[in-house]
Every structure is written in C-alpha cells, then in structure tokens.
Amino acid sequence: MIDFKTDSVFKLNPCDPQEVHSQIAPFLVPGERVVFTFKTVRDFVVFTDKRLIAANVQGITGSKTDFTTLPYNKIQAFSVETAGSFDRDSELDLWFSGLGNVRLEFKRNVDIRQLSQLIATYLL
C-alpha cells in the first residue's frame, strides 16, 4: 500500500505499457484503457482512463507486489510542479478523500502537463 505519510512515493520514468501489461492486465476492468505508464527500477505507476494503479514490488526476489488503486473520482484536489533549471524533477500531488496526499516525482523527461490534463479530464 502507498504510505500516505511519506512525502515522495516514487521517482518515475516513462516506460512502454508492454513492460507492465502482464502484471496489470488482470486488474483492468472491461473497457478500461491504459493511458500512461511510469516505472522505477522495480515499482511502477499506471494511469488509466479511470484510475491510478501503483505497484510496489516487495522483498529481495520481487515475487510479492502490492497493487494500490486510486480512483480519479476520489481526488479532491491536485497540484503539479514543473521541472526547473536546478530542480530537474517534476511533481504531481494528489489529495484523496479520506486517504490523504500522494506525491509522485517524475524525471525531467516527463511532460507533467499531460498528466494534469488527464486528471482534469476525468475529474472535472
């Protein structure tokens, strides 16, 4: 489960959806479409047209994975911070009703504005 007390959950890079498809496919509902996928060395985050799914690979062997689903309709507010000259990473903060804040950090090569538009599209 995502630790809602930790400021930063992941430092993510874009990845090909096929890299995580076999792991995420069993969790998708009929008609649900993957829009963006991001990955660290082991963990990954998938943005679909309905929700955010965060996978936290656990243990030394990585045989155990925790999948956390965060539906867009539970987001009360969100904030994006674009990368700058000295701070090369961008950030997405999401406030979920009854759960708290989740912060996702992305490497400089991520267009955080696209994520903002995705969330706004399904939230507003």
Domain ranges of the chain: 10-123
Can you give the pLDDT at residue 1? 46
Beta strands 10-14 and 100-106 are parallel
pLDDT bracket for residue 7 (50, 70, 90): low
Q: Match 């701070």 to its residue by tokens.
A: 87
CATH 3.40.47.10 assigned to domain 10-123? The reply is no
Percent of the chain having pLDDT more than 70? 89
Residues forming a β-bridge with 1:
none
pLDDT in tens, 97-117: 988 888 899 987 888 999 999
